[in-house]
Copies of this chain bind each other. A is one copy, B any other.
Amino acid sequence: MTESRVFKALGDPLRLRIVQRLSSESHHTISTLSEDLGLTRQGARRQIQVLVDAQILRLQPVGRETRVTLDVSTLETAREWITSLERQWDQRLMALKTLVEATPTN
């Protein structure tokens, strides 16, 4: 499953905080995010890279700093994966219900 990488990247409180910040505020760099998280720069950098590998974030070097932005399309794909799973589940329940109603009570 390709999606597992995305979910795995989201599966950490710190990384979830990063994603949340990026969704609501603009102009973040590796340094500003490090300060926000209370980690060393390299510590935060690690976490950011996990999100970049999962294509949830994008890095854009601008001069001496690196701009960090969100790639919402990846999140959308993840959301849709869950949605289709829920749909499958609903269909199965529906089929089961129909089956029960069609079966005469003994």
Binding site for B on A (CB under 8 A): 1, 3-13, 15-17, 19-20, 23-26, 70, 72, 75-76, 78-79, 82-83, 85-86, 88-89, 92, 96
User: Which of the residues B9, B82, B96 comes within 8 Å of A26, measured between beta carbons?
Assistant: B96
Q: In the complex, what residues of B have CB within 8 A of residue A15's CB?
A: 4
Chain A at the B interface: SS class = helix
A sample of 16 cross-chain residue pairs with beta-carbon separation below 8 angstroms, ordered by A number, consists of: A1-B20, A4-B10, A4-B12, A4-B15, A4-B16, A6-B11, A7-B7, A8-B8, A8-B11, A20-B85, A23-B88, A23-B89, A23-B92, A70-B89, A76-B86, A78-B82
CB distance from A24 to the nearest CB of B (A): 5
Do A7 and B16 touch across chains, with their CB atoms under 8 A apart? yes
Q: How far is the CA of A89 from the CA of B80 in the complex (A)?
A: 17
Do B5 and A92 touch across chains, with their CB atoms under 8 A apart? no
